[in-house]
Amino acid sequence: MAAGCSKSFTSKYEEELFYDVEFEDFCKSFEFSNSSSCWICNGYYGPSYGEPLCGTCHAFIFPNHPSEEAQGLVTEFSDDEDSGNDEPPENGSEAKDRDDEDGGGGGSADSDVERPRPSAPRNLNQYLDMLSQPRDSDECQQKICSLPVEVLLSIFSYLDDLSLWNVSEVCKQWKRILEVHTPQQMWKKYTKERWPLFQQISTIPNWLHMYGALMNSCFCRTCLIQMAMKTPMAMGRVNHIRANRLRSDIRSLDLDATEGIDAVALDNQLFHWQASILGPAGSPYEGGKFFLYIVIPCSYPMLPPQVRFLTKIVHPNVSRHGDVGIDIIQHNWSLALTISKLLLSVQSLLTDPFTQICMEPELGRMYEADRPKFEALARRWTWKYAMYEVLPPLEGLF
């Protein structure tokens, strides 16, 4: 139905339901243009394997290590307030989740076994070396699936949780092995570790499925690995300006918490953060909880943080990689802006997209030319990827 349809509705719910049915086939089959190849090089440097960026482009634009803009600067807290040996400051949501985990019943002894940390993604030099050297063809005919379960479990024991979940996606046999032989408490632990702002509202029958659903709801798995690694900054002289400002930002998040806004530091140096935003009421994102990855640079607050959506979202100002196209983190950054104000600006962007300059021009054109169609698509993605706290995934549907 055209955007200028004169059909009248008795309520907003009736209107949304009508357009959800009208554009159901379009929403089910929607894909970004050229989604089968890298968004940046269009496959020139190699396949992207379902990711928005190939490994080479990701390593060039989003390197694993902090930029060298202020190498040698490090944030430390004084002994009278926060020690560098302490855990990172936690807000109410993180403390609540940790309390729930500590008192949440006894799992098996296997759940207490620590798995290896995630391996770092290849850096740019490694990718360039791979591109410049020919690869020998693999003519091995042996099938790893023919190995006994005991051998497979021994191999899997050397994998970190992110790699172990990737193993479960290889075939139904391996997924079944992990469902039977890995404890639910372990997957619950790693779900809360990778998504510390995730709150268990309803009963979750299978934590492996929840972990997998949250993984599949993310734009870029390489960003998840970078967030899980929490790469430390280069040690050097203390950056007191950054430390004092971040301490003030944490107080602002704790004491003046805004409805639908939350953020927590993931490392002691307050370099890696995870944030969450609730979809604004009255928007097609209402009811959804969107996770974001924030990287605080060495020279903050002189330079703005890097902000990326982890949760998939359809929006003209959010790229298929999760990058946010908002002027205050591009070229209009101000020292008066804090982390909470930055998140508020991103949340307000969900209500009022700026379509004159878009990260995804096709979505901007759809928003301007056919608003009901765009909102139907945005609602469907919100239900599909951003509502797992209230609607746990069903087996086989994530």
Look at 340 and 236; give whichever has higher pLDDT.
Answer: 340
Look at 252 and 373; give whichever has higher pLDDT.
Answer: 373
The per-residue pLDDT for 5 is 55
The per-residue pLDDT for 109 is 43
Q: Decide: 171 and 69 in contact? Cβ < 8 Å.
A: no
C-alpha pair distances (Å), 184 with each of 106, 150, 228: 11, 19, 20
Cα 374–380–384 angle (5° rounding)? 145
Q: Answer yes or no: is pLDDT of 238 > 80.
A: no
The per-residue pLDDT for 144 is 73
The per-residue pLDDT for 236 is 57
Judged by average pLDDT, the poorest of 163-172, 209-218, 233-242 is 233-242
The per-residue pLDDT for 24 is 87
The per-residue pLDDT for 395 is 62
Q: What are the tokens at 185?
A: 């408490």
C-alpha pair distances (Å), 183 with each of 8, 179, 275: 53, 8, 28
Q: Give residue 221's identity as a one-letter amino acid code.
A: R
Superfamily assignment of 240-386 in CATH? Ubiquitin Conjugating Enzyme (3.10.110.10)
What residues contact residue 115 under an 8 Å CB cut-off, 6+ apart? 157, 159, 160, 161, 164
Residues 99-136: tens digit of each pLDDT: 444 444 444 444 555 777 777 788 888 888 888 887 77
List, as one string, the DSSP characters of 291-357: EEEEE--TTTTTSPPEEEE-B----TTB-TT-BB--GGGTT---TT--HHHHHHHHHHHHHS---SS
Q: Answer yes or no: is pLDDT of 366 > 90.
A: yes
The per-residue pLDDT for 224 is 87
Residues 248-286: tens digit of each pLDDT: 998 888 776 667 889 999 988 888 999 999 999 989 999
Q: Answer yes or no: is pLDDT of 96 > 70.
A: no
Q: Answer yes or no: is pLDDT of 34 > 90.
A: no
- DSSP category for residue 276: E
**Which of the four pLDDT bands, split at 50, 70 and 90, describes residue 89?**
very low
Q: Answer yes or no: is pLDDT of 28 > 80.
A: yes
Report the chain's mean pLDDT, rounded to a whole number: 81
Q: What are the tokens at 36?
A: 């089968």
The per-residue pLDDT for 115 is 77
> Which helix (DSSP H) or strand (DSSP E) does residue 216 occupy?
helix 207-216
Domain boundaries, the chain: 165-217, 240-386
What residues contact residue 362 under an 8 Å CB cut-off, 6+ apart? 32, 33
Q: Answer yes or no: is pLDDT of 91 > 60.
A: no
Percent of the chain whose predicted confidence (pLDDT) is above 90: 30
